[in-house]
Amino acid sequence: MAGIPGSTDAPVEPDRQLSVARHPVRPELVAHSPVPAGIPKFARTNPASVPASYRSLDPADLAVKDLHQFILGIVSPRPIAFASTLDAESRPNLAPYSFFNAFSSNPPIVVFSSNRKVKDNTTKDTLHNIRQTGEVVINAVSYSMMRQMALASIEYPPDVDEFAKAGLTPIPSELVKPFRVAESPAHLECRVKDIITLGDQGGAGHMIICDVLRIHVRESVLDEQDRIDPHRIDLVGRMGRAFYVRASGAAIHTLYQPMDAIGMGFDQVPPSIRHSPILTGSELAEIAALTRWPSEEEISVFADMPEIREITESEEEVLERLHERARVYIGTGQVRMAAETLFLADRIVGHQD
C-alpha cells in the first residue's frame, strides 16, 4: 500500500489495512482523473474551473462612464458610508459613498472618496463641507433604510437638508457637530485627518481620510458576547449599476481559518484528490486546510463502514461516488470524514501526477 504523503502518523497494524487492500487498484478508475496538459503541477485541473477567456481592457480606451462601471462591478460589493456633514452655516447634509472602507484599526481610520461629477466636473457638497469643518459622521446602512439612503443620494441644492428629504432622524453626536442618523444601526464620529486629491477631471476622487473618534453600535445588533451579529446588523452593500447586496441570512457564509493551524496545502494533496472531477477548488481547499492527513488506521476503519463498503464493492463509478460522498461531508462541515473518504478513494485509484 502506498504511504500517505505528509503523514506523521505512526505505522498501522497490518490487519487494520486489510479492508482497504481488499479493493485493488482498477485501471478503469485511474483513468477518471486525467491531468490536462499545460496545467501547472499543483493547480486544480477540473476543466470547468479553468476560465475560457478574458476581455482585457486598457482604461485609457474606455469612456469614463464605462470605466466607472467596470471598476464598480469588479470592486464589489462595497460597504456604504452614509456621510453626515454640516456646512459652514451648520446646515445638515447627508449622502451615501460606497468608495469606502476601513484601513487601520489602531489607530482607527476609515476612508471614503468623493468624486468629481463626470457630467460637469464639479465637486460634491460633502467634500465642500468637510473642507470647511473637518468633521463627518459615517452611518452604516442597514436593509431597512436602504431606500431612504438612495433618496438621499439625489443631487439636491446645497441648502437642502437630506435628512428631511429622505425621512431620516438626526440625533446629536458626542464629539463632533454633524448629526447621526437614528435609523442607522452604527455610527462613526470622525475628524478628517487628510484629503488626497486624485485628479482634476470628471470621475477623479478625493480620498477623505478619517480618524474615528467615537463608535456607536445599536445594542440590538450585538450578540451575547457583545460582538456584532451580521444577521442582526443586516447591512447592505453596493455593487455595479443598480445592484445591491443584503449581507445577512443565506448570503452569510462562515469560514474559519485559524492563523496558527498550519494547513497541509494543495501541493501536499495527493494528485487523485487534487484533480477530482467532482469537487471544486473551494471544496478541496477545506481538505488542503487540514493540519494532518488521515492515518492508515483511520482510513481502514472508515472503509469498513457499511455505507462506504457498499460504494467500494460496487462495480461502477467508485471514485465519483466517493468524491460525491466527500462533497456531502464537506457541505455538512464533516471535513475529516471527507478526507477519509478521499484518501480511501486515493488508495483505490492509486497515485498519479
Ligand X SMILES: Cc1cc2nc3c(=O)[nH]c(=O)nc-3n(C[C@H](O)[C@H](O)[C@H](O)COP(=O)(O)O)c2cc1C
Nearer to ligand X, 153 or 280 (CB): 153
**DSSP string covering 313-343:** TSSS-HHHHHHHHHHHHHHTT-HHHHHHHHH
Helices (H), 49-189: 64-74, 125-133, 146-151, 162-166
Residue 231 Cβ vs ligand X, minimum distance, rounded to whole Å: 22
Residue with cell 445599536: 218
Nearer to ligand X, 45 or 85 (CB): 85
Residue 140 Cβ vs ligand X, minimum distance, rounded to whole Å: 13
**DSSP string covering 244-272:** EEEESGGG-------TTS----GGGS-HH
Nearer to ligand X, 115 or 341 (CB): 115
Nearer to ligand X, 17 or 126 (CB): 126
In contact, 238 and 203? CB cutoff 8 Å: no
Which positions lie near ligand X, rule CB under 6 A?
80, 93, 95-99, 113-115, 124-126, 150, 153, 155, 238
Residue 150 Cβ vs ligand X, minimum distance, rounded to whole Å: 5
Residue 144 Cβ vs ligand X, minimum distance, rounded to whole Å: 15
Nearer to ligand X, 116 or 321 (CB): 116
CA distance 288 to 293: 9
Nearer to ligand X, 96 or 271 (CB): 96
CA distance 124 to 114: 7
Residue 100 Cβ vs ligand X, minimum distance, rounded to whole Å: 6
CA distance 295 to 304: 15
Enumerate the β-bridge partners of residue 92. 86
Residue with cell 482585457: 56
Residue 211 Cβ vs ligand X, minimum distance, rounded to whole Å: 20
CA distance 61 to 76: 22
